[in-house]
Amino acid sequence: MTSEHPAIARFRAEHSTRGGTGDIVILPDSVHTAALAAEALGCEVGAIANSLLFDADGAPVLILTSGGHRVDVAKTAALVGVDALRRADPEFVREHTGQVIGGVSPIGHPAPVPTYIDSWLRKYDVVWAAAGHPAAVFSTTFDELVSLTGATEIDVT
């Protein structure tokens, strides 16, 4: 039996601690984009909750957005009360999430990260998000994802 990747094991423990009820699925290949994840799972790309970490003058901000959306960074920065949001580089992402780009989960970070969720994800009965590794995802609902993360609902487009 192959042991589970440490990032997935950490996610699984955090998911359980927070009362997550969805399935954790390990896919045969990395699904580091919403389109790849949707194809592998057989769902609409909009049902993928991308965990996008932004740099707000050195502070992390996590936006959970529908895979079908691009974040309007100027509008979203104003909504979350920061001067500007810039896409975080890989080192910043790893420092603040303990995970790599393409596998950033909405939970399980070394320290709390202010989190916001795209209202558009509400339209899906099942939402899929990364589970700490580019080949791992988990199923959830919009309401459960808000509960797990403490996210504030906003319109990111």
In this prediction, residue 63 carries a pLDDT of 98
Question: Do 117 and 111 form a contact (C-beta atoms < 8 A)?
Answer: no
Measured CA to CA, the distance from residue 124 to residue 8 in angstroms comes to 25
In this prediction, residue 1 carries a pLDDT of 46
In this prediction, residue 29 carries a pLDDT of 80
Total-model pTM: 0.94
Domains along the chain?
A: 6-154 (3.90.960.10)
Measured CA to CA, the distance from residue 135 to residue 82 in angstroms comes to 32
What are the tokens at 76? 């979203």
